[in-house]
Every structure is written in C-alpha cells, then in structure tokens.
Chain A
Amino acid sequence: MKYVDEFRDGGLAQKLATAIRAEADPAREYAFMEFCGGHTHAISRYGVTDLLPPNVRMIHGPGCPVCVLPIGRIDMAIGLALARPEVIVCTYGDCLRVPASDGLSMLKAKARGADIRMVYSAADAVALAQANPAREVVFFAIGFETTTPPTALVIRQAEALGLNNFSVICNHVLTPSAIVTILESPEVREIGSVPLDGFIGPAHVSTIIGSRPYAFFAEEYRKPVVIAGFEPLDVMQAVRMLIRQVNEGRAEVENEFTRAVTEDGNLKAQALVSDVFELRRSFEWRGLHEVPYSALRIRARFAAFDAEAKFDIAYRSVADNKACECGAILRGVKKPTDCRIFGTVCTPENPMGSCMVSSEGACAAHYNYGRFRDIPVVAA
C-alpha cells in the first residue's frame, strides 16, 4: 500500500534498530510510555520490542479509550436500552464487548433483547435516527480528542435537522489531563519507583490538539515527549529521538509525525468541540479512578441532545475486581504478568480489568501478542 508500506519496511527497521543500539547508553535503563493504544497495537502487532535493545523498556499507558471507560458508564447505556424498548443504543464496534455489571456487556444485553447496534461513524448514528423517526436513537460516544469533533458535528447536525429523537451519552476524555494524572501519581512523582523517562505522544489525537498542549508537562515534569505516527517505523524513530533527548539531558516536545501534526492542530475542529462541549469537573477512568477536568460533557445549550439529561440517567461508580492491578500497570509500576489474575481469571474472553478489554490495552496486547515470551519455546 502506497504511503503505508514505506513505514513498515523491515530493512529500514533493521538499520534503525542498529542506530538505536548505538545511541542507547548500555550503562543505563530507558523507560518510555506510549500513551496511545494505537502505538501499543503497532508495537505488539509488528513485534517492535524485538528490535529494541533490552535496556529500552516500553510501558503501555492508558490511551485505549475502550479500556479506560468505567463500568458505570456502560451500565448507563445498557440500563437505558433494557428499560426502554423505544431506545436504540448505537456505538462503535469495539465498545460492544466491554464488560459491565451483572455479567453483561452491550453484546450480551443485545442478546437479552436490548436494541443495541454497531455503527462505523457518528454520522451513521444520525442516519439511524432519521430512518427510525418513531424510535429514540442514543449514540454512546467514546474516545479521545480524535473522535470528539465528529460527535460535536452530529449534535450540531441533529439540531439543524430538527431531529428530536437523537441524543448522545458523552464519554469523551482528554489526553493531557490523563498524562498529568500519571505524572502526579505518588509512585511516579515522589517514590520514583517508576522511572518514566519520556512519552511517545499520540498520533491522531495530536492532529486535532497539536503539539502545544504537551509543552506544559515537558517543562513542568522534565519529561521529553515525541509525537509519533502509528506505523512501526514512526515508533522506532520516536524511541531514537527520546533516547537522544535523555542522553543530552533535554526535555522538549519534538514532532516525529510532521506529516500530519502541527503545533496548533486543527483549529476548526477545536472550535467545533468547544462550541458543543464543556469540561466535566471530574470523570472516572477505569484503572485511574477520578481524574479532574479529564472529560467533556454536552453544553446546556444542546441539552436536548444530551441523553443523560433527556432520560435522566445518573452515573453510578462500580468498583473493579479487587485483585486487579490495572492502575499500577497503566502507570508502569507493574507489568501485566505481575498481576495475580492475568491470563487465568482475567482473559480477553472474560476481562476483569481495563487493560484486558481491547487488544490495545496493556494486558490484552501482552496476552494476545506477547504471551509466548513468558514461556520458552523449543524450535524444531
């Protein structure tokens, strides 16, 4: 594929691997967090870890929007769909499997009679409402800054069309505040038990918000950030740039993904988002608990399209499994295999904690792609 294969070239990867080995100081350890699930996926899918020297460790952060969605939010959608037969809940595909309370997920609730459907875009949700004027279509919107503008757009469209049977359960979350939460956690800030040496900044998120929002924590926390694309060569190049910053004692925001990300991002999309949404004071993240100013809600002006107001549904927090180590894993304090229930009680078929939910989560990525590393395999 043109413009894709170039970023997956095995020969170039070997050259880059050699360059990284040459630049990494054998006397020290490097730990970099890729915040975004897209990077976690690329690292696992292409076996990038095998090309990095053993003293460079990648930590899978909380950047998978499906994984960090708390159980209580999914319960809201399921409860609504089960209680009101006139409601069609629609959402993105990978949301359907996320486990909720009472052994349910949206897929399982569908099997119990709830009308829950998969859509490929926010625009499909509006089309569904137009096609079903006698039903109430509720779009369960999730995601980071990347998927927020399309949700804002459909709310404005619904208003323009005078649609009175369309509303949104808004679960959009914000990247910078989650990174700050990780850096503010006692393990990272005070105890120093997590040697986080730098971040690979998100690709798609940064196309919207630009590179500027990362400058604050590069300066404040003295952590280098390199924004990178989702292709495996992008990731390796970003690792090389981070190693160089660490070696030189710099903590700056650098942009590897110049083909898509600018300093200011997409101003039009940002304006659209701020027109429709406002900050929530606090929002619960699965695995990270309450994170202040880390999510968006629909502004009062668009209350007619806010399903939480329209159907008077309230959020109720549901605790994760007590044995679950997701919080520690998301901060890099523990590895997936350090969790007692990893791969036994908690599997991708039956996930207990957030990291096991989507293949972009730290535990699911290790379970699906890397589990063979835990056990020596004898070649024939």
Chain B
Amino acid sequence: MGEVKKGYVRPLDLKQGRVDMGHGAGGRAMAQLIDEVFARAFANEWLGQGNDAAVLPAPAAGERLVMATDAHVVSPLFFPGGDIGCLSVHGTINDVAVMGARPLYLAASFILEEGFALADLVRIVNSMAAAAREAGVPVVTGDTKVVEAGKGDGVFISTTGVGALPAGRDIGGANARAGDVVIVSGSIGDHGTAILSQRESLAFDTEIVSDTAALHGLIAHLLELVPGVRVMRDPTRGGLATTLNEIAVQSGVGISLEEAAIPVHPQVEAACEFLGLDPLYVANEGKLVVICAAADADAAVSALRAHPLGTEAARIGEVIDDPNHFVQIRTGFGGRRMVDWLSGEQLPRIC
C-alpha cells in the first residue's frame, strides 16, 4: 500500500476523473488510487498493512487448504441484479465452497483500461467490498495494472480464494455413482439471460435479474444436514449442461435428466426461445448442482429449500451407468435426447 502524504496531494476526482496510465505506473498516482479506492473499500487488518503479501494464520490441525482462482471479463459491467464487482467475489467464494470448504480469504487483481471512469470503478469496488463483507470473506491482498485505451474492456477483475476443508470431507466431481440423484438449488439461466438483456445490440425489457450470490451459507446448511453429499458444483459458464457433462466424464458415469423437473423461470424460457438459446447452456452465478445418494435426496432437497438461496431446489435426474459418459434428458414432450457438450459458443439461430 502506498504512503501518500495527506495535504500535499490533491484527492482523486472520483466523480469526473478517469483512469490514466499513471494509475498503473507504480508511482504516487498508483499509491493514491490504491489508498483512496481499494484500501478504503476493502479496509481490513491484512490489507491495511500494505505489504506485498498477506500473512495469514494456518488452518486448524487436520484441515486442508482449498484454493481457486477466477478471472472475470463481463460485458456489460453493470447488469440487473449485480455487476462485475460482486460477481468476482461470489464466483470465487463459490468455487471454494463447492469443494465443501469454508472460504476464508480473497485476493483481487484489477486490470483497468486507460480512460475508465473513476466513478464506475468506485461503484464496482464498493459492490465488491459489500459482497465480501456480507460473505465474511475479506479481500486481504491485491494488485492493479493499467493498460492503454483500446487494450482492455474497462475493467477485468481476477480473484483468488482460499478456504479450509475439514478433515475427512471428500466432495469432488469424480464421486458420482450410478443410482445417485442430481439436484439443483433453483431456477437456471437467470444470470446469462440478465446479461443478454443488457447487451447493447440486444437490449430487451425484462424483469430477469442475475442470481449472483455467495453460496457458502447454503452449502454449510446443506452439509450440516446431509454430510454425505458426493458432488457439488456451481453451473456458471456453459450452464447446467456443461457442468453435468464435466461431472459425467470425471466420475465415469452417465446422467439422465427429467426436463419437466428442471426449474426455469418463464421469463428466461421466453427470452431463450426468442433468441434461439437453450437455458440448459445459459450461465448461472448463484446456483448449485448437488449429487448425493438416493437415500439422502429428500433430505438434501429439504435442506436446500429451507435456505433463502435454495427455495426452488428440485430433484432433476439420476446418475446412470454409461461407459460413454453421456448426459441425456427425457423431454417434457415425452421423447429422449442427449444434452451434449456445447460446441464453441452458444450463438443465436438465424430463423
């Protein structure tokens, strides 16, 4: 953290000012930006020390460390229900939490584009700080770089999270077994559809808001009641379909879904229909996929539904033996089809 002598340096113009190359040059301007924007928003004992790294206590005996990192490049930066700031906190907390770990600390790195409005940066950083505070997971170290105008997209945020995994807990993508049950914590496709609704070229009126949320509270509640959960994952980019294909391959199993059981909000369904997209492939930021033994399924659904982030939890399918690791679905219409990996990006159909 930089030492800025108050009284000698004019404060940053956080209303009209813009990021310039000096804010990333390592000198006084950068120290001022860090001090007045980042340190102020994230204020905590580790960050306040201003060292190159945070010195943190070791986890309890028998616990293991869990670490995840995630880069966030989202357009637009602000969308209904959130922004890139809170998203960057939630996404990494969730990656740590789905392993069954207790998220402890975050590191954040910012790549800012020359010319980016300081007011927008402050808005993003404040949203990030609020999300971290609410989750009880402080941002303890960070970095800032500035790239020339045209070489970035306003702001990119990369966050790294560290958590502690209790002794004996084994949750992972390779643990699904034939006969297990697949559960989602709520409606799918909300985040991706909210983002699409704000795209400059697409803008449509909708009440769909992003589901971005930190899931560690929901997960802790679930694990308290159903400690034997085998797999958890947050179905972000690539959506539910991609997540289930990943798990099927990792575990060497197949998955069979019931389309009618998968919760999708009508507005999301309508937007996807209009754009020629499949909600199964649309991103989520506050949803959880859980795979557990059939005997635990009812308890798991009840546990999820008892938490505010899991009220729409539903059992959506089962794990089957399949050497090809296919994910298939019984359609609401009565037929069957595969839910394959996405080929490249999901692009709208022409007619």
Interface flags for B257-300 (1: CB within 8 Å of A; 0: not) read 00010000010011001000010000000000000000000000
Q: Which residues of B contact A214 (CB under 8 A)?
A: none
User: Do the beta carbons of B350 and A94 come within 8 Å of each other?
Assistant: yes
Interface flags for A87-101 (1: CB within 8 Å of B; 0: not) read 000001111110000
Q: Which residues of B contact A144 (CB under 8 A)?
A: 351
- A107 contacts partner chain B, Cβ-Cβ < 8 Å: yes
- A147 contacts partner chain B, Cβ-Cβ < 8 Å: yes
Q: Which residues of B contact A96 (CB under 8 A)?
A: 347
Interface flags for A3-14 (1: CB within 8 Å of B; 0: not) read 010001110011
Q: Which residues of A contact B330 (CB under 8 A)?
A: 47
Q: From the candidates B201, B273, B336, B338, name the one contacting A4 in the complex (CB within 8 A).
A: B273
Q: From the candidates A10, A92, A142, name the one contacting B332 in the complex (CB within 8 A).
A: A10
A369 and B340 in contact, given A46-B333, A48-B335, A49-B335 (Cβ under 8 angstroms)? yes
Q: From the candidates A10, A372, A378, name the one contacting B338 in the complex (CB within 8 A).
A: A372
User: Do the beta carbons of B320 and A380 come within 8 Å of each other?
Assistant: yes
Cβ-closest chain A residue relative to B177: A380
In chain B, positions 223-269 with a C-beta closer than 8 Å to chain A are: 254, 256, 260, 266, 269
Stretch of A118-126, A241-249, A250-258 contacting B (4+ beta carbons < 8 Å): A118-126
Cβ-closest chain A residue relative to B323: A375
- B57 contacts partner chain A, Cβ-Cβ < 8 Å: no
Q: From the candidates A1, A46, A371, name the one contacting B335 in the complex (CB within 8 A).
A: A46
Interface magnitude class on chain A: 35 or more
In chain B, positions 26-54 with a C-beta closer than 8 Å to chain A are: none
Interface magnitude class on chain B: 35 or more
User: Do the beta carbons of B335 and A349 come within 8 Å of each other?
Assistant: no
- B94 contacts partner chain A, Cβ-Cβ < 8 Å: no
- B63 contacts partner chain A, Cβ-Cβ < 8 Å: no
Interface flags for A360-375 (1: CB within 8 Å of B; 0: not) read 1000100111111001
Of the candidates A47, A367, A377, the one having the most CB atoms from chain B within 10 angstroms of its own CB is A47
Complex Cα–Cα for A144 and B269 (A)? 27
Cβ-closest chain B residue relative to A360: B349
Closest Cβ–Cβ distance, residue A46 to chain B (whole Å): 4
- B19 contacts partner chain A, Cβ-Cβ < 8 Å: no
A94 and B331 in contact, given A120-B202, A377-B322, A380-B318 (Cβ under 8 angstroms)? no
Complex Cα–Cα for A17 and B334 (A)? 10
- A206 contacts partner chain B, Cβ-Cβ < 8 Å: no
Complex Cα–Cα for A348 and B344 (A)? 9
Q: Which residues of B contact A107 (CB under 8 A)?
A: 344
Complex Cα–Cα for A77 and B254 (A)? 42
Complex Cα–Cα for A41 and B336 (A)? 13
User: Do the beta carbons of B335 and A92 come within 8 Å of each other?
Assistant: no
User: Do the beta carbons of B335 and A94 come within 8 Å of each other?
Assistant: no
Closest Cβ–Cβ distance, residue A125 to chain B (whole Å): 11
User: Do the beta carbons of B201 and A120 come within 8 Å of each other?
Assistant: yes
Closest Cβ–Cβ distance, residue A145 to chain B (whole Å): 10
Cβ-closest chain A residue relative to B348: A93
User: Do the beta carbons of B201 and A47 come within 8 Å of each other?
Assistant: no
User: Do the beta carbons of B343 and A348 come within 8 Å of each other?
Assistant: yes
Q: From the candidates A44, A50, A119, A377, name the one contacting B320 in the complex (CB within 8 A).
A: A377
Complex Cα–Cα for A8 and B349 (A)? 20
Q: Which residues of A contact B260 (CB under 8 A)?
A: 10
User: Do the beta carbons of A147 and B350 come within 8 Å of each other?
Assistant: yes
User: Do the beta carbons of A97 and B349 come within 8 Å of each other?
Assistant: no
Closest Cβ–Cβ distance, residue B260 to chain A (whole Å): 8
A378 and B322 in contact, given A1-B273, A349-B343 (Cβ under 8 angstroms)? yes
Complex Cα–Cα for A48 and B273 (A)? 18
Interface flags for B120-157 (1: CB within 8 Å of A; 0: not) read 00000000000000000000000000000000000000
Complex Cα–Cα for A125 and B347 (A)? 17
User: Do the beta carbons of B340 and A368 come within 8 Å of each other?
Assistant: yes
Q: Which residues of B contact A4 (CB under 8 A)?
A: 273
Q: Which residues of A contact B344 (CB under 8 A)?
A: 97, 107, 349
- A289 contacts partner chain B, Cβ-Cβ < 8 Å: no
Of the candidates A4, A17, A95, A377, the one having the most CB atoms from chain B within 10 angstroms of its own CB is A377
User: Do the beta carbons of B179 and A1 come within 8 Å of each other?
Assistant: no
Q: Which residues of B contact A94 (CB under 8 A)?
A: 347-350
Q: Which residues of B contact A364 (CB under 8 A)?
A: 343
Closest Cβ–Cβ distance, residue B105 to chain A (whole Å): 36
- A324 contacts partner chain B, Cβ-Cβ < 8 Å: no
Interchain Cβ contacts under 8 Å between A and B, 25 examples: A4-B273, A8-B333, A10-B331, A13-B333, A13-B334, A38-B351, A45-B278, A45-B337, A47-B331, A50-B335, A93-B349, A97-B344, A107-B344, A118-B347, A142-B350, A143-B351, A232-B333, A349-B343, A368-B343, A377-B324, A377-B328, A379-B256, A379-B320, A379-B321, A380-B321
Contacts beyond the supplied A14-B334, A50-B334: 14 A-B pairs with Cβ under 8 Å: A1-B273, A46-B337, A48-B333, A50-B335, A93-B348, A94-B350, A96-B347, A120-B348, A204-B351, A364-B343, A367-B340, A377-B328, A379-B320, A380-B321
Q: Would you list the 9 A-B pairs with minimal beta carbon distance, nearest first?
A: A47-B335, A93-B347, A50-B335, A348-B343, A46-B333, A380-B178, A369-B337, A92-B350, A93-B348
Q: Which residues of B approach A to under 8 Å, CB–CB?
A: 178-179, 201-202, 254, 256, 260, 266, 269-270, 273, 278, 318-322, 324, 326, 328, 330-338, 340, 343-344, 347-351
Q: Which residues of A approach B to under 8 Å, CB–CB?
A: 1, 4, 8-10, 13-14, 17, 38, 41, 44-51, 65-66, 92-97, 107, 118-120, 124, 142-144, 146-147, 204, 232, 347-349, 358-360, 364, 367-372, 375, 377-380
